[in-house]
Amino acid sequence: MGYYKVREIFKKYIDGYGLTTIARNLNKRGIKSPEYFSHRKINSRRTELCKKFLWAQTSVKRILENEIYIGTLVNHKTVTSKIYKTKITVPVTEQYIHEEFLPAIIDKQTYERVRKLLESRKKSNVRASNGRAIHRYCGLIKCTECGAILIAKRRNWHDIEWVEYTCNSHHRYDKEYCTPHRIHESQLDKLIYDEVKTLMTRIVAESEKYDKIVKDWLGQKPVYDRKIKQYKEKITSLQNQIEEIIMERIADREHASIYNNMIAKREEEITELQNKIEESSQYDEVSRQKRDNLKSMADLLEEILSESKISDANLRILVMQIYVHQNEDKILDIKFEFNGDFEDSEAVNFDKETA
C-alpha cells in the first residue's frame, strides 16, 4: 500500500469521515488492505481460504494509531505466554521506542490531531450514515432539560440548505417530553469562534502574569538561595543532634521513650525543612512550565483562529461538551466545556428567534 493511501486515510478522518465509511470507500475502489499483503507473504494457503482481505473498521483504525507513520518504531508492545498462550499488553513505560527510526509519512501534529479525534468520537459515540461525513457538532451538544443529545437535521427551503440541531427527545416524542432547542450550525460556528477568541485573550493575560512571576523570582533568587542554604545547615545540625541522642539512649535505656520522642520531633523538623527546600527550588521551574504551557495554548488558539472557520478536527480537540438550555421566552443559554487545560466558558444568551 502506497504512502499516498495512508495520507488519504488520515485526511479523510480529519475531514469528518468515519472508520466504516473510509473502509467501504477503499473496498469499493478495489484497494487491497495491509492484511492481504502480510498474509500473502506468510502463508499463501491462508489467503486462498480467506478469499479476500477487505478493509474494515479495525484495519483503518490500526493505521491511524500506528506510530510507524510518523517515523517512530515501537517494540515490545505485547508479551505472549508460551504456557497459557495469552497475550498481555506491555505498559508504555516498558516498551522500546525508537523515534525518527525511518522517514515520516505523516507529521506529528496531524497524528496527534487524529489521536485526539479518535478519543473524542469514541467518547461521544458519534455515527454517520450513507457515507456522509460526520456532522460538526454530532455528539457534542447536550440538552440540559432531559439530558438527550441534540441531533443534526438537514433542512432545505427554496433551494437553500442548512443544518440545524434539535433535541432528540423532542424529535422522537414531540413537545410533551421536551422543547426543541433548535439552533443552526452556522450560528454555533459564530458563537464558538467568538468564545475561542475570548478564551485566547484570557490565556494570553494569564501567561503574561506568570511571565512577571518568573522575572520577579529572578530578582529574588539570591534571597531564595540564602534561605535554602540556611535550611540545609539546620538539617545538618538536627541530624547531628539525632546521632547524639541515639548515643545517649544507648547509655540510658531506662528513659528510651523520652529519647525516642526527641528523635521524632527532630525528624519532623527535618521533613518540614526538606519540603521548604523543594518548594523554594521548584518555584521557578513550576512557574516557567505553567507560563510555557499557557503560551503554547495561546499559539495553538491563534493558529486555529487564523482560519475564517474552525475546522472539524480542531473543534473536537477544543470542545468537550456544549450544553443548551431553553428558557420560557425561547432564548437559549449555551455553555461550552473545553478539553484539557482550557477553562469552561460563561453561559451565552442566544435568541433563536432573532438570530
pLDDT in tens, 61-91: 999 999 999 999 999 888 888 887 788 888 8
**Residue 10: its pLDDT value, please?**
92
- State the number of CA atoms in the 13 A half-sphere of 147 facing the CB: 0
pLDDT per residue as tens digits for the range 269-280: 999 988 888 877
Does the pLDDT at position 210 exceed 70? Answer: yes
CA-angle at 213, arms to 211 and 216, nearest 5°: 110
To the nearest whole percent, how much of the chain has pLDDT over 90?
12
Predicted confidence band of residue 18 (pLDDT cuts 50, 70, 90): confident
Judged by average pLDDT, the poorest of 6-20, 62-76, 216-230, 250-264 is 216-230
Alpha carbon distance 135, 16 (integer Å): 7
Per domain, the residue ranges of the chain are: 3-124, 207-305
Q: What is the mean pLDDT of residues 327-335?
A: 86
CB 221 within 8 A of CB 329: no
Q: Mind listing the pLDDT tens digit for each residue in 106-149?
A: 998 889 888 888 887 787 777 666 667 778 888 888 998 888 88
Pick the CATH number of 3-124 from 3.10.20.80, 3.40.190.80, 3.90.1750.20, 3.30.70.600: 3.90.1750.20
136 in Cβ contact with 36 (< 8 Å): no
Tell me the per-residue pLDDT of 212-229, one tens digit each, with 9 for 90 and over: 777 776 677 787 788 888
**Residue located via cell numbers 511571565:** 211
Residue 353's pLDDT band (boundaries 50, 70, 90)? Answer: very low
153/185 Cα distance (integer angstroms): 10
Distance CA(239)–CA(309), nearest Å, equals 64
Q: State how far the Cα of 94 lies from the Cα of 89, in Å rounded to an integer.
A: 10
Give the residue-averaged pLDDT of 298-321. Answer: 83
Distance linking the first and last C-alpha atoms of the chain: 49
Distance of alpha carbon 75 from alpha carbon 79, whole angstroms: 11
